[in-house]
Amino acid sequence: MKKQHIALFVTGGIAAYKIPLLVRALVKAGHDVRVAMTASAQKFVTPETLAIVSKHAVLTDGHEFDHPEHVAHVALAHWADLGVVVPATANTLAKLAAGLADNVVTTTLLAMTAPKLMVPAMNDQMWQNPQTQRNIARLISRQGYRLLPPATGQLAEGYTGVGRMPEPDQIALFLENLAEPRLKGRRIIVSAGGTKERLDPVRYLTNDSSGKMGTAIANAAAGAGAAVTLVTTRELPVVPGVTVKPVTSAQSMADAILADFPDADAVIMAAAVADYRAPTISDHKIKKVDANSGLTLTLVQNPDILATLGQKKTHQVVIGFAAETNDLLANAQTKLTKKKADMIVANPVDATHGFNADTDTVTFLRPDQPPVTLPEMTKQKVAMALIEQLTTMLPKQKG
């Protein structure tokens, strides 16, 4: 996400005490952040605290006209590129759905035309109440709000349930990936990381894939409104709404992807899948015979997941990656044709590009179209460019 003016609207939930951490994360990312808060929110975090971390005065009830040269809540509404209601209580969501404007937060939001995101936080029974769900549906359908769903975890009441506010770093990550909801209603599967092929209980064959690219793609797809399943061998931060399926081997990755493939709109194979595995896994550590003995491994081919998807696809868009050390475009073009993919993302692997790096230089290859080469950029930006390409490749949704 480009650097933006972000207005945070803090309401009276216990999770408000975490908002200074969110402000700091957004400021650190380069955004200009301003805060408005309700009187109830001030019982959990002070305006002075939020003013210090944001470097701006906080807008509260009773101070709208401290500077008579402008109306403060309207000025904030005009200033913001994005509004985020966090934590969004059931009470505030009900007011917003009804169009009420009885405090500085609801008044500002009613005047705001910029995109708005709600991050609900409440007790699980309040979250699951049909009226709360109707209010949220109304805000999404009639007022254009985006929703970052609450997490499942320890609630203030002392038990585990759905309704917990996502952690500040998760919210910040979601905001960094937030884009136009062009993939709303779509189901996307993304693979990430390098697979591990066991030889014995202590050894395996693998590669240097970090999983950064695939995870960035999953986050970008979720930011564009998709329901995302990330099939991965790595544990990296994902935004709320990404369903993570941990796997290890090529076979377990294939099983996880193929199970969800019939209902998917697209699959993006960013994982580095091992080509070979041992035909059997030793149940004990393989010992060397003597100081001079060698070890000969007999390997068999793993399932070719990308080729299988290319053969099985009906309506799905299938995208693969080609990480090459030489003849990048020639090898990627061969892979595009041989695997029957709809697009191949070609990326070089050398001392400064590819595995484990935070930046990448990629080329998009599609059948019967000229290659599109991007300049070197962060993997997050590559991911967002890839999602932009995907939106042009998907068939229009019915209805």
In order of 266, 307, 332, the CA distances from 337 in angstroms are: 18, 10, 9
Question: β-strands 5-10, 82-88: how paired?
Answer: parallel
The answer to whether 275 and 307 are in contact (CB under 8 A) is no
Instruction: Find the helix or strand (DSSP H, E) in which 117 lies.
Output: strand 116-120
| Helix, strand, coil % over all residues of the chain, rounded to 5 | 35, 25, 40
Task: Report d(CA 129, CA 124) in Å as an integer.
Answer: 9
CA nearest to 85, candidates 37, 126, 122: 37
Binding site for CTP, by residue number, is: 275, 285, 303-306, 321, 335, 339
Longest dimension (CA), the chain: 88
Binding site, by residue number, is: 275, 285, 303-306, 321, 335, 339
The b-or-e profile of 48-68 (16+ CB within 10 A means b, else e) is eebeebbeebbbbbeebeeee
Catalytic residue numbers read: 207
